[in-house]
Chain A
Amino acid sequence: MPVQIRVPTPLRRFTGGADVVTAEGSSLREVLDDLERKHPGLRERLLDENGELRRFVNIYINGDDVRFLDNLSSKVKDGDDISIVPAIAGGR
């Protein structure tokens, strides 16, 4: 089930500059696994050594923060819109 993933600027070096990519999976964890297969290097930026979402990374499924859903176990369905958003606005 393909879902659309919006990629922030700091991670676009892994997607060939693309700001939107697609991946498949029925949970967020599966989607991120598929994303890593297609764009190696992304997973390490998003997940820590324990496989959990890094503290400074926010992921939204259709606008909902996954920390208020089921984190990486959150269900994903065909056509969902996933956004990866750095927790900070950067700059000064």
Chain B
Amino acid sequence: MATTSQSFQRSPEGANSEFVPVARAENVMGLIGNTPLLEITKITAGLLRPGVRIFAKLEGFNPGGSVKDRPALKMIMEGLRKGELVPGKTIIDSTSGNTGIALAMLGAALGFPVELVMAANASRERKKIIQAFGAKIIYSDPLEGSDGAILLCRKIIERNPERYFKPDQYANENNPLAHFETTGPEIWRQTKGAVTHFIAGLGTGGTVMGTGRYLKMRNPAVKVIGVEPDDAMHGLEGLKHMASSIVPPIYHEEELDDKIQVSTEDAYEMVYALGQIEGVLVGQSSGAAMVAALKVARGLREGCVVTIFPDFGEKYLSTNLWIGWKSWTRDRLSHLLAKCKTESESVIT
């Protein structure tokens, strides 16, 4: 069996089997998944009770650089299997970044043209990466955000429906299924079943839905918690403020045990802290995830908190994330940590 299919067809039943990392692959698809867990120890030093640990799954290690490689691969392979994606068709979707990068990478590897609709204010790095994979970008009005890109993408497909295959990450159940089949089992294995809380940002909802379902299947006591921006006007690339957005059909809020709102400023501060204290340079959605993980962990007597860091930080170096970072000091981290402690009292334990 090719390494390609090994990567995305791991069954939940296989979750207990010994994991052997891919040392060699015949194509980039074989390198997707099996990302490492990093225990966050320096930022949390002295803050958590002895039996509480926080781990971050570093999805930036995927070949396309983000967690989105997983659902993109699953959606495309299922499209091929069902005959919905056939030679001559173009892969199209609305995406502001990481899914676009994943689709562009996979389109290149599999020989399909890719067109991506995104708001014109997506980060410069993301646009360049997507174009470097040979994909075409169609820009939508930056004032309309990701919902504007979704609507423009629909219009383009309506004009020529036979031409396109749209993975439709917001509505495609293969998105959460990719996480049910890979991210969830990996976390279960990597924590040896000790995970008690799973925390992930809400974008399409695919990560938290699929991974959460798997972990709850293994242990119904696992708490699954979503993270979203605290306001419709925010700066957390990749995350959605659900109350003010088109709610993705794959997202079912009732399956969550809790939802934590994080301010853009707090998430940015955590990104600076993770870089300078933990030695991990990540994007703003990882900063938000870490803030939420701390809020939960500080309220626990014991537990194993696992969160997702969706990508690394290189893609954001030209963005507003880094405005004012030079004045960052550890004093500001103390301020942030104090807020996490206060708010943890209201968080589910």
Contacts and interface: CB of A to CB of B under 8 A. Distances in A.
Interface stretch (A5-13, A21-29, A30-38, A73-81): A5-13
A89 B237 CA distance: 7
B169 interface: yes
Contacts of B232: 9-11, 13
Which of A9, A11, A13, A88 has the most C-beta atoms of chain B within 10 angstroms of its own C-beta?
A88
Contacts, number: 119
A89 B233 contact: no
A90 B119 contact: yes
Nearest to B205: A92
Interface residues of A, number: 26
Interface string A41-62: 0000100100000111110000
B143 A19 contact: yes
A55 B323 contact: yes
B180 to A, nearest CB: 18
Interface residues of B, number: 45
Nearest to B202: A92
A72 interface: no
A10 B95 contact: no
Contacts of A84: 143
Given A13-B244, A55-B265, A92-B99, A7 B143 contact: yes
Nearest to B316: A88
A66 B234 CA distance: 19
A10 to B, nearest CB: 4
Nearest to B68: A92
Interface of A: 6-11, 13, 19, 45, 48, 54-58, 67, 83-92
9 contacts: A9-B144, A13-B244, A55-B323, A67-B323, A83-B143, A85-B142, A88-B123, A91-B149, A92-B97
